[in-house]
A and B are shown apart, each in its own frame.
Chain A
Amino acid sequence: MKRLLGVLALVAVAVAVFVLGRGDDPVSVAVTGASYAVRVEIGGEVEVRVTSGRADTVTIAASMPSMGHAAPEVSARLAGAGRFVAGGEMLSMAGLWQLSIRLTGPAGEETLTVQAPVSAAR
């Protein structure tokens, strides 16, 4: 009987893990423009990986249209080849943020926009 209960408990745990484990993944969004392509990853910080094109500077402007919020532009710092990182404090609350990523480089200036769902616990 104990074993039976044990098996049932294991099954229940497996189901719970399956259901609850499908929670928030770290945000990762790719966007491709005419001159540049980037992948934006949002954990504790906002990381912009330039996957196509050569960018010299990356500036991020965050806004949350549904709340009427806009955050000041932040210049991302170079953190490796094609990797730019900015502090995550511009994303002041959970919700769907719109990030306008302005890139400059030999190919000129281009602004790429991504929608990023940001969860409370990052």
Chain B
Amino acid sequence: MRRVCCLLVVFLVLAGSAPAAAHVVSAGADLRVALTIGGSELTVVVEGVRRVPAPLRVRVEAYHGGAPERLALELRSVTDGRTATGAVRPSGMVAGDVRPSGMVAGEVRPSSAVASDVRPSGVVAGDAGLGDVAELRAEQAGPYELRLSAAGESAVLPFRVLVERGASWELVIYGALLAAALLAVGGLLTGAVARRRAGMLVSAGIAAFVAIAATFVVLEPYLPVADPDGAQPTAGPRPFARALVTTVPAEPVAGQDYTLRLDLVDGATGVPVDDLAVHHEALAHLVVTSQDGVSFSHSHPLRTAPGRLEVRLRAERPGRHLVHVELERQESGGQLLTGEFTVADRDEPPRDEPPREEPGPGETTTGPVGAAPRMVPAVPVAGRPTTVEVDTVAAARPWLGMAGHLIVRSADGAFLGHVHEMGTGGPTLRFTFGFPAPGRYLAWAQYATGERIVTVPFVVEVPR
């Protein structure tokens, strides 16, 4: 009896020393967030980790030429303030993806290669430490902020490092089986099973532990699963957010750059909204169009402070501009926020900088766009699905998680739709959308090729 008790004590000590959380299952998901920084469309990728502490691998994908050559990174734990810094250079461009290690002396490059990514070898030597991937050490699970800085702009990206922990029920099951096994082996070794009373106790113990293990095996599918380490407690859907839209300067001038600022507030409390979910690979999708639809930009503003998103854009045309912001709060559905501002004519008194002629930030319509899109049926019927077919000028690569995006705006700007490509593959992108009412719609189909983002503008007339 005493020996059995000793064995039980040993088991309990062993069970107590088992790790509270077994980091055996990977969280496995990469975080992908699109940002419009330094006038360039980039996607920041933070690769998932199985355990902490571990280096977080961060890389940045560029979608068109002129991307900043270097992004400074700072990873800060919101829990304890520990920081790790690094730098990375954007990669992923077909024409401009030139790695320093792959450079051959005297190699002739096609003149169409994106200038910003091709550097003379003398410059490469000074930047030898700058790679396509930065590794920033995360000591623990929980909330983090990743600050990205380039071209005088910076964004603070909040995210959480989650590490799966094994279900506590598994501990019960394996613990009970281990206890049963220890009792069986211990009972045999000590000869307890040969004695009537001790043998009965040992058998009863084994039966009890096996019964516990069997019960939890049967019940396991119905038992709650532990949240991953570092997860935020769930709270349920949030109310609508409102965006206060302002520009710096207050009245942008045609031909000049300006900053569009969105201050997000909770519609129910007026508290700043800082709980945006990453939705179609961005914290927010911002569509700015001139009233006549000639000027269009689809960008991904930077979170510069809690509840504040900002993006640097180029004012192309004077007049009224419409702002549509598509975003999603955590545990809630998608929302569309709207606003407007006016661009002054460039005949106004000159401001700080003279107008420039090269493409500005947020402009993605440069280059050929291919044939005009086709409609099936050729004349759309209001309220019924219409398929829009767009022939690509080069092989499309996924951008914002999809092969293509179609943005549809009513002529007056009161309606905005965002449609995704149907995933058919091949050189033709297909979008299906039901134009809600008769009228004139301005539409822009967008996709990424190896070297740029192509925007195909067109107009759809839906007859009465």
A residues whose Cβ falls under 8 Å from a Cβ of B: 3-4, 7-8, 11, 15, 18-19, 22, 30-33, 37, 52, 61, 63-66, 68-70, 95-96, 98, 100, 111, 113, 115, 117
A117 and B234 CA atoms in complex are apart in Å by 9
Q: Is the CB of B235 within 8 A of A96?
A: yes
Partner of A30, one of B80, B168, B232: B80
Contact of A7 among B201, B234, B268, B329 (CB under 8 A): B201
- Of A4, A68, A70, the residue contacting B204 (CB under 8 A) is A4
Closest chain-A Cβ to B333's Cβ sits at a distance in Å of 13
Docked Cα-Cα span, A68 to B274, in Å, equals: 15
Q: A30-B79, A32-B81 are in contact. Are A70 and B237 (CB under 8 A)?
A: no
Q: Are B266 and A65 in contact (CB under 8 A)?
A: yes
Interface members, chain B 229-256 (any A CB < 8 Å): 232-239
B79 to chain A, nearest CB (A): 5
| Contacting pair B232 A115 (CB below 8 A) | yes
Contact with A68, one of B78, B239, B306 (Cβ below 8 angstroms) = B239
Contacts of A7 in B (CB 8 A): 201, 204-205, 208
Alpha-carbon separation in the docked complex, A111 to B306 (Å):
10
Partner of B271, one of A8, A15, A98: A98
Q: A11-B209, A30-B80, A32-B80 are in contact. Are A70 and B271 (CB under 8 A)?
A: yes
- Contact (Cβ within 8 A) A37 B81: yes
Q: Which of B79, B172, B200 has the most CB of A within 10 A?
A: B79
Chain A residue nearest in CB terms to B226: A22
Q: A11-B208, A32-B81 are in contact. Are A117 and B233 (CB under 8 A)?
A: yes
Nearest CB of chain A from residue B158's CB, rounded to whole Å: 10
Contacts of B238 in A (CB 8 A): 65-66
In the assembled complex, B275 has its CB within 8 A of some CB on chain A: yes
Q: Does B234 lie within 8 Å of A96, measured CB to CB?
A: yes
Q: Please determine whether B80 and A15 come into contact, CB atoms closer than 8 angstroms.
A: no
Is there an interface contact between A68 and B268, defined as CB atoms closer than 8 Å? yes
Docked-complex contact A63 and B271, CB < 8 angstroms: yes
| Contact among B81, B204, B233, B269 with A63 in the assembled complex (CB-CB below 8 Å) | B269
* Cβ-closest 9 pairs across A and B: A68-B268, A32-B81, A96-B235, A70-B269, A117-B233, A66-B236, A66-B235, A4-B204, A65-B238
Bound complex: CA A98 to CA B204 (Å): 51
- Can you offer 17 A-B residue contacts whose CB atoms are under 8 A? A3-B201, A4-B200, A11-B208, A15-B172, A30-B79, A32-B81, A61-B271, A63-B271, A65-B238, A65-B266, A65-B271, A66-B331, A70-B269, A96-B234, A96-B236, A98-B271, A115-B232
> Beyond A7-B208, A11-B208, A70-B270: 10 further Cβ-contacts under 8 Å?
A7-B204, A8-B204, A11-B205, A15-B172, A30-B79, A32-B76, A65-B266, A68-B266, A70-B271, A113-B274
Docked complex Cα distance between A15 and B176 (Å): 10
Q: Per-position contact with A for B148-179: 1 when CB-CB < 8 Å, else 0?
A: 00000000000000000000100010000000
CB contacts under 8 Å to A, within B63-81, are 76-81
Residues of chain A lying within 8 A (CB to CB) of residue B274: 113
Q: How far is the CB of B250 from chain A (nearest CB, A)?
A: 26
Q: When each residue 194-210 of chain B gets 1 if its CB lies under 8 Å from chain A and 0 otherwise, what string results?
A: 00000011001100110
Interface size on B, residues (CB 8 A): 33
Cβ B233 vs Cβ A37 within 8 A:
no
Which residue of A is nearest B80, CB measured? Answer: A32
A3: chain B residues within 8 A (beta carbon): 201
Chain B positions within 8 Å of A18 at CB level: 172
Q: Which of B76, B205, B237 contacts A66 (CB 8 A)?
A: B237
On whether the beta carbons of B201 and A4 are closer than 8 Å, the reply is yes
Residues on B with beta carbons closer than 8 Å to the beta carbon of A65: 235, 238-239, 266, 268-269, 271, 275, 329
Among A15, A19, A115, contact of B233 (Cβ-Cβ < 8 Å): A115
Q: How far is the CA of A4 from the CA of B196 in the complex (A)?
A: 13
Contact at A32–B269, with CB atoms within 8 Å?
Answer: no
> Could you say which of A15, A31, A33, A115 contacts B212, with CB atoms under 8 Å apart?
A15
Task: Specify the chain A residue showing the minimal Cβ separation from B168.
Answer: A22
Q: How far is the CA of A65 from the CA of B128 in the complex (A)?
A: 47
Task: Give A61 to B238 CA distance when docked, in angstroms.
Answer: 18
Q: Which residues of B contact A22 (CB under 8 A)?
A: 168
Look across to chain A and name the residue whose beta carbon is closest to the beta carbon of B241.
Answer: A65
Chain B: which residue is nearest A115 at the CB level? B232
CA distance A68 to B273 in the complex (A): 12
Q: How far is the CA of A111 from the CA of B200 in the complex (A)?
A: 65
Q: Please give, as numbers and ranges, the residues of chain A lying within 8 Å of B208 by CB-CB distance.
A: 7-8, 11
B450 to chain A, nearest CB (A): 40
Q: In whole angstroms, how far apart are the Cα atoms of A117 and B232 in the complex?
A: 9
Contacts of B232 in A (CB 8 A): 115
Specify which chain A residues have a CB less than 8 angstroms from the CB of B271 in the assembled complex. Answer: 61, 63, 65, 70, 98, 100
In the complex, what residue of chain A is closest to B233 when comparing beta carbons? A117
User: How far, in angstroms, from A95 to B237 measured CA to CA in the complex?
Assistant: 12
Nearest CB of chain A from residue B10's CB, rounded to whole Å: 16
**Chain B window 79-118, contacts with chain A (Cβ cutoff 8 Å), 1 for yes, 0 for no:** 1110000000000000000000000000000000000000
